[in-house]
Chains A and B, each alone.
Chain A
Amino acid sequence: MADTIPVVFRPFQWVGAAVLGLLGEAGRLATFITRVKLAALTPWVFFGETLKQCIRIGYFSLPVVGLTAIFTGAALALNIFVGGSRFNAEQFVPNIVVLGITRELGPVLAALMLAGRVSAGIAAEVGTMKVTEQIDALHTLSTSPFQYLYAPRFWAAVLTLPILVLIADIIGVYGGYLVATGTLDFNGNLYIKNTMDYVTGGDVIGGLIKAAVFGGVVALMGCYHGQNCQGGASGVGRAATLAVVSSAVLIFFSNFLMTTLFTRIGL
Protein backbone atom coordinates (compact mmCIF):
# COMPACT_ATOMS: atom_id res chain seq x y z
CA MET A 1 0.00 0.00 0.00
CA ALA A 2 1.50 3.30 -1.16
CA ASP A 3 0.17 5.24 1.85
CA THR A 4 1.93 3.03 4.39
CA ILE A 5 5.40 3.39 2.85
CA PRO A 6 7.55 5.96 4.68
CA VAL A 7 8.38 9.01 2.59
CA VAL A 8 12.08 8.22 2.72
CA PHE A 9 11.51 4.96 0.83
CA ARG A 10 9.23 6.45 -1.83
CA PRO A 11 12.03 7.01 -4.39
CA PHE A 12 12.83 3.28 -4.20
CA GLN A 13 9.20 2.54 -4.82
CA TRP A 14 9.15 4.82 -7.87
CA VAL A 15 12.32 3.28 -9.27
CA GLY A 16 10.96 -0.20 -8.66
CA ALA A 17 7.65 0.65 -10.32
CA ALA A 18 9.48 2.18 -13.30
CA VAL A 19 11.70 -0.90 -13.72
CA LEU A 20 8.73 -3.24 -13.46
CA GLY A 21 6.81 -1.12 -15.96
CA LEU A 22 9.75 -1.20 -18.38
CA LEU A 23 10.16 -4.96 -18.05
CA GLY A 24 6.43 -5.44 -18.54
CA GLU A 25 6.49 -3.29 -21.68
CA ALA A 26 9.53 -5.17 -23.01
CA GLY A 27 7.74 -8.46 -22.40
CA ARG A 28 4.59 -7.29 -24.15
CA LEU A 29 6.62 -5.99 -27.10
CA ALA A 30 8.59 -9.25 -27.38
CA THR A 31 5.36 -11.27 -27.33
CA PHE A 32 3.82 -8.99 -29.95
CA ILE A 33 6.85 -9.23 -32.25
CA THR A 34 6.91 -13.03 -31.92
CA ARG A 35 3.21 -13.25 -32.78
CA VAL A 36 3.60 -10.98 -35.82
CA LYS A 37 6.56 -13.03 -37.07
CA LEU A 38 4.68 -16.30 -36.56
CA ALA A 39 1.70 -14.85 -38.43
CA ALA A 40 4.03 -13.62 -41.18
CA LEU A 41 5.46 -17.11 -41.60
CA THR A 42 2.14 -18.95 -41.78
CA PRO A 43 0.75 -19.71 -45.24
CA TRP A 44 -0.40 -16.49 -46.68
CA VAL A 45 -4.11 -15.91 -46.87
CA PHE A 46 -4.04 -12.15 -47.36
CA PHE A 47 -1.75 -11.80 -50.38
CA GLY A 48 -3.89 -9.00 -51.82
CA GLU A 49 -3.63 -7.03 -48.60
CA THR A 50 0.17 -7.42 -48.62
CA LEU A 51 0.36 -6.19 -52.21
CA LYS A 52 -1.80 -3.19 -51.29
CA GLN A 53 0.53 -2.37 -48.41
CA CYS A 54 3.61 -2.74 -50.64
CA ILE A 55 2.18 -0.03 -52.88
CA ARG A 56 1.19 2.14 -49.93
CA ILE A 57 4.43 1.76 -48.00
CA GLY A 58 6.90 1.38 -50.85
CA TYR A 59 5.62 3.10 -53.96
CA PHE A 60 4.06 6.11 -52.25
CA SER A 61 7.22 6.68 -50.19
CA LEU A 62 9.36 7.03 -53.32
CA PRO A 63 9.03 10.82 -53.69
CA VAL A 64 9.93 11.60 -50.08
CA VAL A 65 12.80 9.10 -50.00
CA GLY A 66 14.09 10.30 -53.39
CA LEU A 67 14.05 13.96 -52.37
CA THR A 68 15.78 13.16 -49.07
CA ALA A 69 18.47 11.19 -50.92
CA ILE A 70 19.21 13.80 -53.58
CA PHE A 71 19.56 16.66 -51.09
CA THR A 72 21.62 14.53 -48.70
CA GLY A 73 23.98 13.41 -51.50
CA ALA A 74 24.37 17.00 -52.67
CA ALA A 75 25.04 18.37 -49.16
CA LEU A 76 27.41 15.51 -48.43
CA ALA A 77 29.48 16.27 -51.54
CA LEU A 78 29.78 19.93 -50.53
CA ASN A 79 30.76 19.09 -46.95
CA ILE A 80 33.33 16.51 -48.02
CA PHE A 81 34.78 18.97 -50.50
CA VAL A 82 35.12 21.67 -47.81
CA GLY A 83 36.51 19.22 -45.23
CA GLY A 84 38.78 17.45 -47.73
CA SER A 85 40.25 20.72 -49.01
CA ARG A 86 41.77 21.30 -45.53
CA PHE A 87 44.26 18.50 -46.22
CA ASN A 88 44.24 18.44 -50.03
CA ALA A 89 41.85 15.48 -50.29
CA GLU A 90 39.12 17.10 -52.43
CA GLN A 91 39.45 14.33 -55.01
CA PHE A 92 37.89 11.84 -52.57
CA VAL A 93 34.44 13.44 -52.81
CA PRO A 94 32.93 10.68 -55.05
CA ASN A 95 34.45 7.90 -52.95
CA ILE A 96 33.20 9.22 -49.64
CA VAL A 97 29.78 10.22 -51.01
CA VAL A 98 29.10 6.70 -52.29
CA LEU A 99 30.42 5.11 -49.11
CA GLY A 100 28.41 7.42 -46.86
CA ILE A 101 25.24 7.03 -48.86
CA THR A 102 25.28 3.26 -49.36
CA ARG A 103 26.54 2.18 -45.95
CA GLU A 104 24.87 4.70 -43.68
CA LEU A 105 22.86 7.67 -44.85
CA GLY A 106 20.76 5.92 -47.51
CA PRO A 107 19.31 3.24 -45.23
CA VAL A 108 19.11 5.37 -42.08
CA LEU A 109 17.53 8.44 -43.66
CA ALA A 110 15.11 6.41 -45.79
CA ALA A 111 14.09 4.48 -42.67
CA LEU A 112 13.61 7.72 -40.71
CA MET A 113 11.42 9.11 -43.47
CA LEU A 114 9.40 5.91 -43.37
CA ALA A 115 9.18 6.16 -39.58
CA GLY A 116 7.56 9.57 -40.04
CA ARG A 117 5.36 8.66 -42.97
CA VAL A 118 4.55 4.99 -42.55
CA SER A 119 4.95 4.10 -38.88
CA ALA A 120 2.78 7.03 -37.79
CA GLY A 121 0.27 6.17 -40.49
CA ILE A 122 0.06 2.52 -39.44
CA ALA A 123 -0.26 3.47 -35.76
CA ALA A 124 -3.04 5.97 -36.53
CA GLU A 125 -4.88 3.51 -38.78
CA VAL A 126 -4.62 0.54 -36.41
CA GLY A 127 -5.32 2.79 -33.41
CA THR A 128 -8.49 4.12 -35.03
CA MET A 129 -9.52 0.55 -35.84
CA LYS A 130 -8.94 -0.32 -32.19
CA VAL A 131 -11.00 2.53 -30.72
CA THR A 132 -13.83 2.04 -33.22
CA GLU A 133 -13.99 -1.71 -32.41
CA GLN A 134 -12.93 -2.74 -35.93
CA ILE A 135 -10.24 -4.99 -34.44
CA ASP A 136 -12.83 -6.64 -32.19
CA ALA A 137 -14.97 -7.05 -35.31
CA LEU A 138 -12.09 -8.87 -37.02
CA HIS A 139 -11.96 -11.34 -34.13
CA THR A 140 -15.70 -11.97 -34.33
CA LEU A 141 -15.33 -12.59 -38.07
CA SER A 142 -12.84 -15.37 -37.29
CA THR A 143 -9.93 -13.31 -38.59
CA SER A 144 -6.72 -12.72 -36.69
CA PRO A 145 -5.52 -9.10 -36.84
CA PHE A 146 -2.00 -10.53 -36.73
CA GLN A 147 -2.60 -12.23 -40.08
CA TYR A 148 -4.89 -9.68 -41.67
CA LEU A 149 -3.37 -6.40 -40.45
CA TYR A 150 0.09 -6.79 -38.99
CA ALA A 151 1.78 -9.49 -41.08
CA PRO A 152 0.99 -7.80 -44.45
CA ARG A 153 2.36 -4.48 -43.16
CA PHE A 154 5.44 -6.21 -41.75
CA TRP A 155 6.20 -8.00 -45.03
CA ALA A 156 5.48 -4.90 -47.10
CA ALA A 157 7.92 -2.77 -45.10
CA VAL A 158 10.61 -5.47 -44.95
CA LEU A 159 10.41 -6.08 -48.71
CA THR A 160 10.01 -2.53 -49.99
CA LEU A 161 12.45 -0.57 -47.83
CA PRO A 162 15.52 -2.31 -49.35
CA ILE A 163 14.19 -1.43 -52.82
CA LEU A 164 13.64 2.15 -51.71
CA VAL A 165 17.15 2.27 -50.28
CA LEU A 166 18.66 0.93 -53.50
CA ILE A 167 16.88 3.72 -55.37
CA ALA A 168 17.94 6.22 -52.68
CA ASP A 169 21.56 5.07 -53.09
CA ILE A 170 21.46 5.83 -56.80
CA ILE A 171 19.69 9.16 -56.34
CA GLY A 172 21.98 10.16 -53.46
CA VAL A 173 25.09 9.49 -55.51
CA TYR A 174 23.49 11.41 -58.37
CA GLY A 175 22.89 14.34 -55.98
CA GLY A 176 26.60 14.35 -55.16
CA TYR A 177 27.45 14.09 -58.86
CA LEU A 178 25.25 17.10 -59.71
CA VAL A 179 26.91 19.31 -57.10
CA ALA A 180 30.41 18.04 -57.84
CA THR A 181 30.15 18.54 -61.59
CA GLY A 182 27.96 21.64 -61.43
CA THR A 183 29.71 23.73 -58.79
CA LEU A 184 32.96 22.00 -57.76
CA ASP A 185 34.44 21.55 -61.26
CA PHE A 186 34.64 17.76 -61.15
CA ASN A 187 34.82 15.87 -64.43
CA GLY A 188 31.61 13.88 -64.83
CA ASN A 189 33.13 10.73 -66.30
CA LEU A 190 35.89 10.68 -63.73
CA TYR A 191 33.38 11.16 -60.91
CA ILE A 192 31.37 8.14 -62.07
CA LYS A 193 34.52 6.06 -62.61
CA ASN A 194 35.80 6.86 -59.11
CA THR A 195 32.41 6.04 -57.65
CA MET A 196 32.15 2.69 -59.43
CA ASP A 197 35.74 1.74 -58.71
CA TYR A 198 35.45 2.48 -55.03
CA VAL A 199 32.03 1.07 -54.06
CA THR A 200 31.87 -2.66 -53.31
CA GLY A 201 29.00 -5.10 -53.36
CA GLY A 202 29.41 -5.42 -49.60
CA ASP A 203 28.75 -1.70 -49.09
CA VAL A 204 25.47 -1.91 -50.95
CA ILE A 205 24.37 -5.28 -49.55
CA GLY A 206 25.16 -4.17 -45.99
CA GLY A 207 22.91 -1.14 -46.51
CA LEU A 208 20.13 -3.28 -47.94
CA ILE A 209 20.28 -5.69 -44.99
CA LYS A 210 20.02 -2.71 -42.66
CA ALA A 211 17.05 -1.46 -44.68
CA ALA A 212 15.18 -4.75 -44.30
CA VAL A 213 15.69 -4.65 -40.53
CA PHE A 214 14.63 -0.99 -40.36
CA GLY A 215 11.54 -1.84 -42.41
CA GLY A 216 10.58 -4.45 -39.83
CA VAL A 217 11.14 -1.93 -37.02
CA VAL A 218 8.97 0.71 -38.69
CA ALA A 219 6.06 -1.67 -39.32
CA LEU A 220 6.23 -3.39 -35.93
CA MET A 221 6.32 -0.13 -33.98
CA GLY A 222 3.38 1.24 -35.94
CA CYS A 223 1.32 -1.90 -35.39
CA TYR A 224 2.33 -2.29 -31.72
CA HIS A 225 1.48 1.24 -30.66
CA GLY A 226 -1.69 1.22 -32.76
CA GLN A 227 -2.83 -2.01 -31.16
CA ASN A 228 -2.21 -0.64 -27.66
CA CYS A 229 -4.02 2.60 -28.40
CA GLN A 230 -6.53 3.61 -25.75
CA GLY A 231 -9.07 6.38 -25.58
CA GLY A 232 -10.28 8.42 -28.51
CA ALA A 233 -8.59 10.92 -30.77
CA SER A 234 -5.91 11.80 -28.21
CA GLY A 235 -5.05 8.11 -27.83
CA VAL A 236 -4.63 7.77 -31.59
CA GLY A 237 -2.40 10.85 -31.66
CA ARG A 238 -0.30 9.49 -28.79
CA ALA A 239 0.04 6.13 -30.56
CA ALA A 240 1.29 7.85 -33.73
CA THR A 241 3.82 9.92 -31.77
CA LEU A 242 5.07 6.88 -29.84
CA ALA A 243 5.39 4.91 -33.07
CA VAL A 244 7.59 7.57 -34.68
CA VAL A 245 9.76 8.14 -31.61
CA SER A 246 10.28 4.44 -30.83
CA SER A 247 10.92 3.63 -34.51
CA ALA A 248 13.56 6.37 -34.74
CA VAL A 249 15.33 5.31 -31.54
CA LEU A 250 15.28 1.63 -32.55
CA ILE A 251 16.54 2.48 -36.04
CA PHE A 252 19.57 4.27 -34.58
CA PHE A 253 20.16 1.53 -32.02
CA SER A 254 19.88 -1.36 -34.50
CA ASN A 255 22.01 0.62 -36.98
CA PHE A 256 24.78 0.80 -34.41
CA LEU A 257 24.51 -2.92 -33.64
CA MET A 258 24.53 -3.91 -37.32
CA THR A 259 27.39 -1.54 -38.18
CA THR A 260 29.42 -3.08 -35.34
CA LEU A 261 28.60 -6.57 -36.60
CA PHE A 262 29.35 -5.76 -40.26
CA THR A 263 32.65 -4.15 -39.29
CA ARG A 264 33.64 -7.28 -37.36
CA ILE A 265 32.77 -9.65 -40.21
CA GLY A 266 34.37 -7.38 -42.77
CA LEU A 267 31.23 -6.46 -44.70
Chain B
Amino acid sequence: MTQPLLQMTNVHKAFGPKKILQGLDIDVAPGKSLVIIGGSGTGKSVSLKCALGLMKPDEGEILFDGEKLNKKKAREAMLARTGMLFQGGALFDSLPIWQNVSFKLLGKSGTSKSDAKDHAIETLKKVRLGSEVADLYPAELSGGMQKRVGLARAIATRPDLIFFDEPTTGLDPITADAINDLIVEQVKGLGAASVSITHDMPSARKIGDEIAMLYEGKIIWRGPADTVDDSGNEYVDQFVHGRADGPIQPAM
Protein backbone atom coordinates (compact mmCIF):
# COMPACT_ATOMS: atom_id res chain seq x y z
CA MET B 1 0.00 0.00 0.00
CA THR B 2 1.30 3.47 -0.88
CA GLN B 3 2.38 5.57 2.05
CA PRO B 4 0.05 8.56 2.43
CA LEU B 5 1.64 11.91 1.69
CA LEU B 6 -0.46 13.54 4.40
CA GLN B 7 -1.94 11.71 7.34
CA MET B 8 -3.92 13.23 10.20
CA THR B 9 -4.82 10.83 12.98
CA ASN B 10 -7.20 11.45 15.89
CA VAL B 11 -6.77 15.24 15.67
CA HIS B 12 -8.61 17.27 18.31
CA LYS B 13 -8.91 21.02 18.48
CA ALA B 14 -11.06 23.15 20.77
CA PHE B 15 -11.43 26.89 21.32
CA GLY B 16 -12.31 27.21 24.99
CA PRO B 17 -15.35 25.04 25.64
CA LYS B 18 -16.16 24.80 21.93
CA LYS B 19 -14.88 21.53 20.48
CA ILE B 20 -14.20 21.88 16.76
CA LEU B 21 -12.24 18.78 15.79
CA GLN B 22 -13.06 15.65 17.74
CA GLY B 23 -10.88 12.89 16.39
CA LEU B 24 -10.32 13.82 12.77
CA ASP B 25 -8.74 11.08 10.64
CA ILE B 26 -7.79 11.78 7.06
CA ASP B 27 -5.05 10.70 4.71
CA VAL B 28 -4.23 11.44 1.11
CA ALA B 29 -1.96 9.40 -1.14
CA PRO B 30 0.53 10.97 -3.58
CA GLY B 31 -1.17 12.15 -6.75
CA LYS B 32 -4.66 11.77 -5.28
CA SER B 33 -7.24 14.45 -4.66
CA LEU B 34 -9.34 14.45 -1.51
CA VAL B 35 -12.22 16.87 -1.05
CA ILE B 36 -13.60 17.47 2.43
CA ILE B 37 -17.19 18.65 2.45
CA GLY B 38 -19.23 19.84 5.39
CA GLY B 39 -21.44 22.63 6.61
CA SER B 40 -20.33 25.96 8.00
CA GLY B 41 -18.62 25.69 11.38
CA THR B 42 -17.91 21.97 11.17
CA GLY B 43 -14.13 22.46 11.32
CA LYS B 44 -13.11 22.29 7.66
CA SER B 45 -10.88 25.38 7.78
CA VAL B 46 -9.50 24.42 11.20
CA SER B 47 -8.47 21.01 9.89
CA LEU B 48 -6.64 22.65 6.99
CA LYS B 49 -4.94 25.14 9.33
CA CYS B 50 -3.84 22.30 11.63
CA ALA B 51 -2.38 20.43 8.64
CA LEU B 52 -0.47 23.53 7.55
CA GLY B 53 0.81 24.30 11.04
CA LEU B 54 -1.14 27.57 11.27
CA MET B 55 -2.90 26.11 14.33
CA LYS B 56 -1.58 23.63 16.83
CA PRO B 57 -3.90 20.69 17.46
CA ASP B 58 -4.66 19.89 21.10
CA GLU B 59 -4.22 16.21 20.47
CA GLY B 60 -3.46 13.83 17.63
CA GLU B 61 -0.73 13.24 15.09
CA ILE B 62 0.00 14.78 11.70
CA LEU B 63 2.49 13.16 9.35
CA PHE B 64 3.83 14.42 6.02
CA ASP B 65 5.56 11.83 3.86
CA GLY B 66 5.84 9.61 6.93
CA GLU B 67 7.48 12.33 9.06
CA LYS B 68 5.82 13.69 12.20
CA LEU B 69 5.18 17.42 12.01
CA ASN B 70 6.02 18.21 15.60
CA LYS B 71 9.36 19.92 14.95
CA LYS B 72 10.03 23.23 13.20
CA LYS B 73 12.43 21.59 10.72
CA ALA B 74 9.89 18.97 9.66
CA ARG B 75 7.23 21.68 9.30
CA GLU B 76 9.55 23.82 7.14
CA ALA B 77 10.39 20.81 4.99
CA MET B 78 6.67 20.21 4.51
CA LEU B 79 5.91 23.82 3.62
CA ALA B 80 8.70 23.78 1.04
CA ARG B 81 6.79 21.01 -0.78
CA THR B 82 3.32 22.48 -0.29
CA GLY B 83 1.12 25.04 -2.00
CA MET B 84 -2.04 26.69 -0.74
CA LEU B 85 -4.91 28.52 -2.37
CA PHE B 86 -6.76 30.63 0.19
CA GLN B 87 -10.49 31.29 0.12
CA GLY B 88 -10.10 35.02 -0.51
CA GLY B 89 -6.89 34.63 -2.49
CA ALA B 90 -4.80 36.22 0.31
CA LEU B 91 -2.65 37.96 -2.27
CA PHE B 92 -0.20 40.52 -0.90
CA ASP B 93 -1.83 43.77 -1.94
CA SER B 94 1.38 45.79 -1.64
CA LEU B 95 3.16 43.63 -4.23
CA PRO B 96 2.58 43.39 -7.98
CA ILE B 97 1.12 40.15 -9.31
CA TRP B 98 4.41 38.72 -10.52
CA GLN B 99 5.99 39.17 -7.09
CA ASN B 100 2.99 37.48 -5.50
CA VAL B 101 3.40 34.48 -7.80
CA SER B 102 7.18 34.24 -7.35
CA PHE B 103 7.20 35.18 -3.67
CA LYS B 104 8.70 31.89 -2.51
CA LEU B 105 11.41 32.02 -5.18
CA LEU B 106 12.32 35.63 -4.38
CA GLY B 107 12.43 35.05 -0.64
CA LYS B 108 14.87 32.26 -0.15
CA SER B 109 16.46 30.72 -3.18
CA GLY B 110 18.50 33.67 -4.39
CA THR B 111 16.68 33.75 -7.73
CA SER B 112 17.26 37.01 -9.61
CA LYS B 113 14.32 39.36 -10.05
CA SER B 114 14.25 38.96 -13.83
CA ASP B 115 14.29 35.14 -13.60
CA ALA B 116 11.55 35.29 -10.96
CA LYS B 117 9.45 37.55 -13.18
CA ASP B 118 9.92 35.25 -16.19
CA HIS B 119 8.90 32.29 -14.02
CA ALA B 120 5.85 34.19 -12.76
CA ILE B 121 4.75 35.04 -16.31
CA GLU B 122 5.16 31.39 -17.34
CA THR B 123 3.09 30.26 -14.34
CA LEU B 124 0.43 32.88 -15.03
CA LYS B 125 0.08 31.48 -18.56
CA LYS B 126 -0.76 28.09 -17.04
CA VAL B 127 -3.79 29.65 -15.33
CA ARG B 128 -4.79 31.49 -18.54
CA LEU B 129 -3.55 34.91 -17.51
CA GLY B 130 -1.46 36.98 -19.87
CA SER B 131 1.80 38.75 -19.15
CA GLU B 132 -0.07 42.08 -19.05
CA VAL B 133 -1.35 41.29 -15.56
CA ALA B 134 2.16 40.69 -14.18
CA ASP B 135 2.74 44.32 -13.25
CA LEU B 136 -0.76 45.00 -11.96
CA TYR B 137 -1.68 44.93 -8.28
CA PRO B 138 -4.24 42.50 -6.77
CA ALA B 139 -6.82 45.27 -6.24
CA GLU B 140 -6.86 45.84 -10.01
CA LEU B 141 -8.05 42.28 -10.74
CA SER B 142 -11.51 40.71 -10.59
CA GLY B 143 -12.33 38.01 -8.01
CA GLY B 144 -11.92 35.23 -10.58
CA MET B 145 -8.57 36.59 -11.74
CA GLN B 146 -7.39 36.87 -8.13
CA LYS B 147 -8.27 33.20 -7.62
CA ARG B 148 -6.25 32.32 -10.70
CA VAL B 149 -3.28 34.31 -9.40
CA GLY B 150 -3.69 32.51 -6.06
CA LEU B 151 -3.63 29.21 -7.95
CA ALA B 152 -0.53 30.32 -9.87
CA ARG B 153 1.18 31.15 -6.56
CA ALA B 154 0.18 27.76 -5.16
CA ILE B 155 1.68 25.83 -8.10
CA ALA B 156 4.67 28.12 -8.78
CA THR B 157 7.19 25.92 -6.99
CA ARG B 158 5.75 22.65 -8.32
CA PRO B 159 4.61 21.36 -4.92
CA ASP B 160 3.82 17.75 -4.05
CA LEU B 161 0.74 18.69 -2.04
CA ILE B 162 -1.70 21.54 -2.64
CA PHE B 163 -4.41 22.71 -0.27
CA PHE B 164 -7.52 24.46 -1.57
CA ASP B 165 -9.71 26.40 0.82
CA GLU B 166 -13.15 26.97 -0.73
CA PRO B 167 -11.66 27.53 -4.20
CA THR B 168 -14.93 28.59 -5.84
CA THR B 169 -16.59 30.61 -3.08
CA GLY B 170 -17.85 33.97 -4.25
CA LEU B 171 -17.52 33.19 -7.96
CA ASP B 172 -20.26 32.95 -10.54
CA PRO B 173 -20.97 29.37 -11.76
CA ILE B 174 -19.14 29.80 -15.05
CA THR B 175 -16.00 31.27 -13.48
CA ALA B 176 -16.21 28.65 -10.71
CA ASP B 177 -16.28 25.89 -13.31
CA ALA B 178 -13.30 27.43 -15.10
CA ILE B 179 -11.38 27.51 -11.80
CA ASN B 180 -12.31 23.87 -11.16
CA ASP B 181 -11.00 22.92 -14.62
CA LEU B 182 -7.76 24.77 -13.96
CA ILE B 183 -7.35 23.08 -10.58
CA VAL B 184 -7.84 19.62 -12.09
CA GLU B 185 -5.54 20.40 -15.01
CA GLN B 186 -2.75 21.82 -12.87
CA VAL B 187 -2.93 19.27 -10.03
CA LYS B 188 -2.98 16.35 -12.43
CA GLY B 189 -0.30 18.02 -14.58
CA LEU B 190 2.01 18.30 -11.59
CA GLY B 191 1.12 14.83 -10.33
CA ALA B 192 0.51 16.45 -6.96
CA ALA B 193 -1.80 15.37 -4.18
CA SER B 194 -4.46 17.81 -3.10
CA VAL B 195 -6.76 18.41 -0.15
CA SER B 196 -9.66 20.73 -0.80
CA ILE B 197 -12.40 21.92 1.50
CA THR B 198 -15.63 23.16 0.06
CA HIS B 199 -19.37 23.12 0.42
CA ASP B 200 -19.83 23.61 -3.31
CA MET B 201 -20.91 20.17 -4.53
CA PRO B 202 -20.27 20.70 -8.29
CA SER B 203 -16.74 21.73 -7.36
CA ALA B 204 -16.30 18.73 -5.03
CA ARG B 205 -17.50 16.30 -7.71
CA LYS B 206 -15.20 17.81 -10.32
CA ILE B 207 -11.93 18.15 -8.45
CA GLY B 208 -12.08 15.20 -6.06
CA ASP B 209 -10.97 11.61 -6.61
CA GLU B 210 -12.47 11.00 -3.20
CA ILE B 211 -14.90 12.94 -1.05
CA ALA B 212 -15.06 12.88 2.76
CA MET B 213 -17.80 14.44 4.84
CA LEU B 214 -16.87 16.24 8.04
CA TYR B 215 -19.56 16.51 10.69
CA GLU B 216 -19.13 17.49 14.34
CA GLY B 217 -15.35 17.37 14.05
CA LYS B 218 -15.13 13.85 12.59
CA ILE B 219 -15.17 12.25 9.18
CA ILE B 220 -18.51 10.45 9.02
CA TRP B 221 -18.29 9.20 5.44
CA ARG B 222 -15.61 8.82 2.79
CA GLY B 223 -15.79 7.34 -0.66
CA PRO B 224 -15.04 7.80 -4.37
CA ALA B 225 -16.36 11.08 -5.73
CA ASP B 226 -18.76 9.35 -8.12
CA THR B 227 -20.52 7.54 -5.25
CA VAL B 228 -21.35 10.64 -3.24
CA ASP B 229 -24.87 10.87 -4.66
CA ASP B 230 -25.79 7.39 -3.45
CA SER B 231 -23.67 7.12 -0.34
CA GLY B 232 -26.39 5.54 1.76
CA ASN B 233 -25.52 7.98 4.54
CA GLU B 234 -28.42 10.21 5.57
CA TYR B 235 -26.10 13.07 6.61
CA VAL B 236 -24.30 13.01 3.26
CA ASP B 237 -27.61 12.75 1.39
CA GLN B 238 -29.02 15.77 3.19
CA PHE B 239 -25.88 17.81 2.54
CA VAL B 240 -25.47 16.78 -1.10
CA HIS B 241 -29.09 17.57 -1.90
CA GLY B 242 -29.10 20.75 0.16
CA ARG B 243 -32.18 19.92 2.23
CA ALA B 244 -33.06 21.80 5.42
CA ASP B 245 -34.88 18.72 6.76
CA GLY B 246 -32.74 15.90 8.08
CA PRO B 247 -30.33 14.99 10.85
CA ILE B 248 -28.10 18.06 10.25
CA GLN B 249 -29.46 21.21 11.84
CA PRO B 250 -28.92 24.36 9.75
CA ALA B 251 -26.19 26.64 11.17
CA MET B 252 -28.35 29.65 12.02
> A25 near B: Cβ within 8 Å?
no
Segment with Cβ contacts to A, from B47-55, B117-125, B183-191: B47-55
Q: Which residues of A contact B73 (CB under 8 A)?
A: none
With A142-B104, A142-B107, A142-B108 already in contact, the answer to whether A137 and B90 are too (CB < 8 A) is yes
Q: Which residues of B contact A140 (CB under 8 A)?
A: 52, 54, 79, 82-84, 163
Establish whether residues B88 and A133, one from each chain, have CB atoms under 8 Å apart when the complex forms. Answer: yes
Q: Which residues of B contact A137 (CB under 8 A)?
A: 84, 86, 90-92
Q: Which residues of B contact A142 (CB under 8 A)?
A: 76, 79-80, 104, 107-108
Q: Of B76, B83, B90, B104, which contacts A132 at CB under 8 A?
A: B90
The count of residues in chain B whose C-beta lies closer than 8 Å to any C-beta of chain A is: 23
Q: Of A45, A133, A143, A148, which contacts B86 at CB under 8 A?
A: A133
Assembly CA distance A141 to B108 (angstroms): 10
Establish whether residues B107 and A133, one from each chain, have CB atoms under 8 Å apart when the complex forms. Answer: no
> B87 near A: Cβ within 8 Å?
yes
Assembly CA distance A132 to B91 (angstroms): 9
Assembly CA distance A191 to B103 (angstroms): 56
B28-78 CB contacts (< 8 Å) to partner A = 49, 52-54, 76
Assembly CA distance A129 to B52 (angstroms): 18
Establish whether residues B49 and A136, one from each chain, have CB atoms under 8 Å apart when the complex forms. Answer: yes
Q: Which residues of A contact B88 (CB under 8 A)?
A: 132-133
Q: Write the chain A residue with the least CB distance to B94.
A: A125
Closest Cβ of chain B to A214, distance in Å, is 25
B86-101 CB contacts (< 8 Å) to partner A = 86-88, 90-93
With A133-B88, A134-B92, A136-B90 already in contact, the answer to whether A141 and B103 are too (CB < 8 A) is yes
> A139 near B: Cβ within 8 Å?
yes
With A142-B76, A142-B79, A142-B80 already in contact, the answer to whether A136 and B86 are too (CB < 8 A) is yes
Q: Of A129, A133, A134, A141, which contacts B104 at CB under 8 A?
A: A141
Q: Which residues of A contact B163 (CB under 8 A)?
A: 140
Assembly CA distance A140 to B76 (angstroms): 9
Assembly CA distance A137 to B92 (angstroms): 9
Q: Which residues of B contact A148 (CB under 8 A)?
A: 107
Interface centre among B90, B91, B104, by most A CB within 10 Å? B90
Closest Cβ of chain B to A4, distance in Å, is 16
Closest Cβ of chain B to A48, distance in Å, is 10
Assembly CA distance A100 to B79 (angstroms): 54
Assembly CA distance A133 to B91 (angstroms): 9
Establish whether residues A141 and B107, one from each chain, have CB atoms under 8 Å apart when the complex forms. Answer: yes
Pairs A–B under 8 Å by Cβ, sample size 24: A45-B108, A129-B92, A133-B88, A133-B90, A134-B90, A136-B54, A136-B90, A137-B84, A137-B90, A139-B54, A139-B79, A140-B52, A140-B79, A140-B82, A140-B84, A141-B104, A141-B107, A141-B153, A142-B76, A142-B80, A142-B104, A142-B107, A142-B108, A148-B107
Given contacts A132-B90, A139-B52, A148-B107, 11 further A-B contacts (CB under 8 A): A45-B107, A133-B86, A133-B90, A134-B91, A136-B54, A136-B90, A140-B52, A140-B82, A140-B83, A143-B103, A143-B107
Q: Which 8 residue pairs are nearest across A and B when measured between Cβ atoms?
A: A137-B90, A133-B90, A140-B84, A142-B79, A133-B86, A141-B104, A134-B90, A136-B54
Interface residues, chain B, CB within 8 Å of chain A? Answer: 49, 52-54, 76, 79-80, 82-84, 86-88, 90-93, 103-104, 107-108, 153, 163
Interface residues, chain A, CB within 8 Å of chain B? Answer: 45, 129, 132-134, 136-137, 139-143, 148
